[in-house]
């Protein structure tokens, strides 16, 4: 997953990730076929490649290639970044437990959220929350 090079990164990379997600969302909104998956984002915890392909009226493999070509990132990486961006909002704005946030945004457990955040931001959910609060 790439981070835009023309935007300054915050110390933890979260602003850059949020900017990247916004750019991907713009690409989705512009494309007639991919625009159909935007409503599915409201159900991130159960969003699958199969559901998105069906909404776009494509076979899964065709959808996967099409999505990557239009958006510039794989469906899986996009979904993970979207889930992490929602988790960042919840970490900033709520006192929910990290385990609850993980489930809320579609990860199977807090360890999966931690792995995704470490990969994308080099920061755990607890570290992010501490930095944001202090």
Q: What is the dihedral of CA 41, 47, 51, 55, to 10 degrees?
A: 0
Q: Read off the pLDDT band of 116 (50, 70, 90).
A: very high
The 10s digit of each residue's pLDDT in 61-97 is 999 999 999 999 999 999 999 999 999 999 999 999 9
C-alpha triplet 8, 9, 14: angle, nearest 5°: 140
Distance CA 72, CA 66 (A): 10
The predicted model scores a pTM of 0.83
| CATH 1.20.1560.10 holds for 14-133 | no
* DSSP calls for 82-126: HHHHHHHHHHHH----HHHHHHHHT-SSHHHHHHHHHHHHS--HH
The 10s digit of each residue's pLDDT in 31-61 is 888 999 988 888 878 899 999 999 999 999 9
Q: Where are the domains of the chain?
A: 14-133
């Amino acid at each position: 997953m790439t981070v835009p090079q023309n935007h300054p990164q915050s110390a933890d990379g979260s602003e850059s990730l949020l900017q990247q997600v916004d750019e991907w969302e713009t690409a989705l909104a512009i494309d007639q076929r991919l625009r159909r998956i935007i409503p599915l984002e409201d159900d991130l915890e159960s969003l699958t490649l199969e559901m998105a392909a069906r909404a776009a009226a494509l076979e899964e493999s065709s959808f996967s290639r099409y999505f990557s070509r239009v958006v510039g990132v794989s469906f899986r990486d996009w979904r993970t970044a979207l889930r992490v961006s929602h988790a960042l909002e919840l970490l900033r704005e709520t006192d929910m437990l990290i385990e609850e946030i993980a489930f809320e945004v579609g990860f199977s457990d807090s360890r999966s959220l931690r792995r995704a955040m470490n990969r994308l931001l080099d920061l755990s959910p607890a570290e992010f929350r501490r930095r944001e609060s202090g």
